[in-house]
Amino acid sequence: MSRRVVITGLGLVTPVGNDVPTSWENIVNGVSGVVPITYFDTTNYEVKIAAQVKDFDPANYMPYKEVRRHDPYQHYQIAAATEAIADSGLEITEEMADRSSVILGSATGGMHSFQTYSTLIYETDNPRKMTPFAIPMLVANGGSDVVAIQVGARGPSAPLVSACATGADTIGFAFQMIQMGRIDRAIAGAGDFPIINLGIAAFDRVGACSRHNDDPAGSVRPFDLNRTGMVFGEGAGVLVLEELEFAKARGANILAELVGFASTTDAYHRTAPAPDGRGAAHAVNLALADGGINVTDVSYINAHGTATSLNDPTETTAIKLALGDHAYKVPMSSTKSMTGHAMGATAAMEAVFSTLAIRDNVAPPTINYETPDPDCDLDYVPNTAREMPIDVVVSNAFGFGGHNASLVIKRFTD
């Protein structure tokens, strides 16, 4: 029998708040984090909006000299991990170190540093201009390494990269290692900082981005007939996961239980999801089976919900395939309507939101939902949060390349 895994700590840096309480309050209240881009001059860009993190100071989490040695995506990961660890009250002792892991993924890695130093070397042709910290700033495992050093965790640290499913896959990998008895605890999640010239230009060329620049707050419209496309976001989400008996032995406050995880691949297209939704539906059904959860027990779904013409109808189809008639009875909302799409970090943020939905018995809204789409005919919790009993949440993440991942989180009962 596999071991039980519980969630004992949460951390967030999001476009609607730099910690869990602020982010969650704004999510429940339907506050948009989308604003005009201030990180660079958008004069020559069709896309001029993004869900930026605001008033964030990495020096609150590390000495200033260390700030300069890390990419911004790592700043977010370190901040969210710091909050999650404090929330859990976890202290990794020497006796616990070999069975403790830090697994923080990133879909984009050090894109900011890559662009900065590539430009510098190209313009100066002087290799001495390169910082000696460039490599750990560029790689997608850099933040995970820093946090592992900070807390003294010597267990496996193998952050996954699976596009927009990265956060869910990273949490799922940590979950499985605890289930199997390889480790007893993990600090798991993801962080990304993709709002740079390169990121905006590349995704806009794919045709995925909203150009609804005149109304930033109303730009992300998941499942709405008049959707305008995805909006870039950024930030990090981190969970502290522990084997149940270890958590109980130290008197941890158990927030919820992570009971199921699954990932699949469409094997269909490099960017578009398979229109039949079978790969996504299979991930949902496998995750439910992994947790021993019947489809009729699902209380709420935190959707991938990117507000694109390819994702929204396909995800709706997938949920119908996975849940059958029960799909019409389950509220499903997209918190990306407020946070934008923070690439791999989003799924980790949404795992935190899903845990909080259980804690507070409230389903977050899908804001900007005004005109129903005939191809999207489920209950998307339009515009206003809904107080309701929530015992089981499915958190979905579906990424470019056909990566599908689902997490199943339930109310903890001893």
The residues near 400 (Cβ < 8 Å, ≥ 6 apart) are 163, 164, 270, 271
Q: Active site residue: 75, 212, 341, 403, which one? A: 341
Residues 386 and 49: beta-carbon distance below 8 Å: no
- pTM here is 0.97
CA distance 236 to 103: 13
Active site residue 209: no
SS3 204: helix
Domains of the chain: 5-249 (3.40.47.10), 261-407 (3.40.47.10)
Look at residue 33 and give its three-state secondary structure. coil
| Tens-level pLDDT at each residue, the chain (414 residues) | 689 999 999 999 999 999 999 999 999 999 999 999 999 999 999 999 999 999 999 999 999 999 999 999 999 999 999 999 999 999 999 999 999 999 999 999 999 999 998 998 899 999 888 888 989 889 999 999 999 999 999 999 988 899 999 999 999 999 999 999 999 999 999 999 999 999 999 888 887 899 999 999 999 999 999 999 999 999 999 999 999 999 999 999 999 999 999 999 988 988 888 889 999 999 999 999 999 999 999 999 999 999 999 999 999 999 999 999 999 999 999 999 999 999 999 999 999 999 999 999 999 999 999 999 999 999 999 999 999 999 999 999 998 888 999 999 999 998
Give the distance, in angstroms, between the CA of residue 117 and the centroid of all CA atoms in the same chain: 27
Q: Which entry of 282, 304, 376, 403 is annotated as an active-site residue?
A: 304
Please confirm, yes or no, whether 304 is among the known catalytic residues: yes
**Catalytic option among 164, 212, 282, 376:** 164
164 is catalytic: yes
